[in-house]
Structure 1
Amino acid sequence: MAPEVPPRSSGASGLPPAESTRTDPNRQVRGVERRELTEFVSVEYEKGQSIRDIASTIGRSYGFVHRLLAESGTELRTRGGARKGPRK
């Protein structure tokens, strides 16, 4: 049985408050709600949050967040980290 998720309400900035951003991971997100979630995810990603951090914040998978970012046209960052040796 899926857990009950309270309805999301917009905060003063138009973005959902942190405590109400989690969604039921088994429910499809469509229409206005999907657009709002895509906007929230895009803004957080542009602020520097990682896809994994955003996914855990909203209670969705990495793939779902990645798909929302791709659909919104957000330019994804490259994989980070310094190399441990000389490049070959």
Structure 2
Amino acid sequence: MSQPIKPPKRKSPLVPGPERTRIAAELREQYERGGVSIRSLAQARGRSYTFVYQLLTEAGTRFRPRGNR
């Protein structure tokens, strides 16, 4: 008999409702007021750039132009 197929393990757990909202607000504060880059935020949290960008978008963040212009 064969073993049941298991889904691959996630590197990072999903973040549910209220926790997600809290983290998004913290990231937005650091990005907008602290001037921290998305890459730096992602690295500090152990998350992907895409995850952090998505949370910032959900939080209504106003993004800076790319690069040092």
TM bucket (normalised to shorter chain) is 0.7 to 0.9
Whose helix fraction is larger, Structure 1's or Structure 2's?
2
- Distance in 2, Cα, partners of 1:25 & 1:73: 26
| Equivalent position to 1:45, from 12, 16, 31 | 31
In 2, are the aligned partners of 1:25 and 1:59 still within 8 Å (CA)? no
Tell me what 1:28 maps to: 14
Q: Deviations over 1:25-73 (max 9, x none)?
A: 4211011110111011101101100000000111100000000111111
Give the structure-2-normalised TM-score: 0.77
RCO comparison, higher one (Cα < 8 Å, 6+): 2
In 1, are the aligned partners of 2:21 and 2:59 still within 8 Å (CA)? no
Give the CA RMSD over aligned residues. 1.8
Residue 47 of structure 2 aligns to a residue whose secondary structure is: coil
Give the structure-1-normalised TM-score: 0.61
- Show the 5 A alignment for 1:46-65: 46=32, 47-65=34-52
Q: Which runs of 4+ in 1 moved over 3 A?
A: none
What are structure 2's unaligned runs of at least 5 residues? 1-8
Total equivalences in the alignment: 60
